[in-house]
């Protein structure tokens, strides 16, 4: 065994978060990784079928086939200056109860388009209707355009807000704003993923929407920022009921997003780097429309790498014959939604 004379490095010299260091084996493995199912030309429809099945395998469950029976109860029903809001509770055997807000705009004629609204790492779905977590009868501005449902109602669009697993009323610990880690790691030990389970919840919500006479089922969209945007991407890729996808501050190539800093474990999918990059995942939504939203200064994926990833997505949409259905909106700030910039295009496509 040979030996060497070590330097006297600074205390941070062995920090694995410092990228492109010769002793970071993860960095070397990332450089060698090739997504085996990435789209590289040819029959797009055939690729979609194979890639979608690979994605289902990686998630550890098939959200599209979650067809168990469920019941929905009304918790409260209140008028709102923009229409009417109900709080619902969806209950299915073997699943955790799922709170939802069902928001209908005033003075509009059914059937209506509807957006499924997903909060990310916030205090929960209450942000979407601009009320306090502790008291839903008290208004409280959400900030950073997170009041998705109110934006919908102002524009004559219905909204269904669902509480994602690990957030808000479904968090693991009452002492913390949100606690995804324990829930996500338990799912991984079971051969599942938390993001896959969240998509299965979206599928249940879509099934409930299909029975609502006020809903135009050909015009169901999904929107969310950060962790809500991540679920939106996977749901759009796998669920046939979703017509329009609006992921915000959640899109980009794996290397430029999930490998640039610490991210919540709830969005990781085992082995994905060897199978599909995120532009491939979102391309499974094609030829249905998508509006990718981001921020120039977003820590997750800022302007330049976001545009590069979008070019990849646009190439795949072009192969699907749907380049005109693929749109990018970039705001000037950071990790937030940009309502004024995004909604004109959303309304054109919904």
Residue 180 pLDDT = 83
| Beta carbons of 72 and 160 less than 8 angstroms apart | no
CA–CA separation, 256 vs 245, rounded Å? 21
Residue 93 pLDDT = 83
Residue 176 pLDDT = 54
Residue the block writes with tokens 């799922």: 98
φ, ψ of residue 105 to 5 degrees: the values are -75, 155
CA–CA separation, 152 vs 139, rounded Å? 17
Residue 38 pLDDT = 92
Residue 66 pLDDT = 66
Q: Structure tokens of 286?
A: 């094609």
SS3 assignment, position 305: helix
Residue 178 pLDDT = 56
Note the pLDDT tens digit of each residue in 232-246: 999 999 999 999 999
Residue 6 pLDDT = 65
CA–CA separation, 213 vs 203, rounded Å? 18
Q: Which residues of the chain have pLDDT under 70?
A: 1-2, 4-24, 64-66, 173-179
Average per-residue pLDDT for the chain = 89
CA–CA separation, 261 vs 241, rounded Å? 34
Residue 33 pLDDT = 80
Residue 13 pLDDT = 59
- Residue ranges of alpha helices (H) inside 60-177 are 148-154
pTM of the predicted protein model: 0.92
């Amino acid at each position: 065994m040979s030996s060497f004379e070590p330097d006297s490095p600074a205390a941070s010299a062995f920090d694995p978060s410092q990228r492109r260091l010769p002793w970071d084996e993860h960095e070397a493995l990332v450089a060698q990784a090739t997504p085996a199912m990435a789209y590289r030309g040819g029959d797009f429809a055939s690729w979609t079928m194979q890639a979608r099945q690979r994605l289902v395998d990686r998630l550890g469950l098939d959200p599209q086939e979650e067809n168990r029976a469920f019941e929905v109860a009304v918790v409260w029903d209140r008028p709102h200056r923009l229409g009417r809001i109900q709080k619902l509770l969806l209950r299915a055997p073997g699943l955790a109860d799922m709170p939802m807000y069902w928001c209908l705009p005033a003075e509009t004629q059914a059937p209506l388009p509807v957006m499924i609204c997903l909060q990310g790492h916030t205090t929960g779905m209450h942000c979407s209707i601009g009320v306090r977590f502790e008291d839903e009868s008290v208004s409280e501005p959400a900030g950073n355009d997170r009041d998705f449902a109110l934006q919908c109602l102002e524009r004559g669009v219905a909204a269904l807000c669902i509480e994602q697993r690990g957030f808000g009323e479904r968090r693991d610990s009452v002492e913390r704003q949100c606690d995804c880690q324990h829930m996500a790691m338990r799912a991984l030990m079971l051969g599942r993923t938390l993001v896959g389970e969240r998509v299965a919840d979206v599928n249940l919500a879509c099934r409930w929407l299909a029975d609502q006479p006020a809903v135009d089922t050909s015009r169901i969209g999904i929107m969310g920022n950060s962790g809500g945007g991540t679920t939106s991407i996977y749901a759009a890729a796998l669920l046939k009921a979703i017509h329009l996808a609006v992921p915000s501050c959640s899109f980009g190539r794996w290397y430029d997003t999930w490998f640039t800093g610490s991210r919540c474990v709830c969005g990781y999918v085992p082995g994905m780097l060897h199978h599909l990059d995120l532009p491939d995942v979102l391309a499974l939504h094609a030829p249905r429309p998508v509006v990718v939203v981001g921020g120039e200064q977003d820590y997750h994926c800022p302007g330049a790498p976001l545009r590069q990833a979008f070019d990849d997505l646009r190439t795949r949409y072009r192969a699907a014959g749907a380049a005109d259905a693929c749109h990018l909106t970039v705001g000037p700030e950071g990790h937030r939604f940009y309502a004024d910039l995004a909604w004109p295009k959303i309304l054109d496509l919904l």
